[in-house]
Amino acid sequence: MKSLLTLLLLIPAFLSAQPQQLFDFQELLTALEQGYRVAARFDYEQCELITDGKKVKSPAIRGGMDISCYEFFDSMSVNNPLPYLSFSETVLINHPRHGFVHNYVRVRVYSDNRVEIRAMYLTPGTMGIVMDETFKGRISMLTQEMGAKFFKK
């Protein structure tokens, strides 16, 4: 009996510890402003890819990042018609063709649920651009993959 009671008391803690998917801009902004940790997951194949000013087939690549720092820009705060969230991360990688490069990823999530992911490889020291790609998608819905998922933890 005591074991059953303990188990019943632990169930809410277990359920609340599971990541919860966020389905729109407002849920994402609210989770960040309430101090939740939020993770972003991207399925680039579900996005439109623009490189060298041209649309090309997106690769079958997935990636993700924790949102550790972010900025919220309300409409017209920086001459922007729509509010958006912006966050980025840079990590040093050893690329098979380019050698050591900074992998810079900047994400913008707009209030209409559009997501823009800019990925750049930058040469250490000079910060010369080796690769520059922009992926455009949307926040995925429960039943439809659209390139970007966000989870609060």
Beta carbons within 8 Å of 84's beta carbon, 6+ residues apart: 72, 73, 108, 109, 110, 111
Q: What is the 3-state secondary structure (H, E, C) of 87-115?
A: EEEEEEEEECCCEEEEEEEEEEEECCCEE
Secondary structure of residue 16 in the 3-state scheme? helix
Between strands 129-139 and 147-152, the pairing is parallel
| pLDDT, one tens digit for every residue, the chain (153 residues) | 566 545 555 555 555 679 999 999 999 999 999 999 999 999 999 999 999 899 999 999 999 999 999 999 999 999 999 999 999 999 999 999 999 999 999 999 999 999 999 999 999 999 999 999 999 999 999 899 999 999 999
Distance CA 104, CA 91 (A): 7
Secondary structure of residue 43 in the 3-state scheme? strand
Q: Please give the single-letter amino acid code of residue 101.
A: V
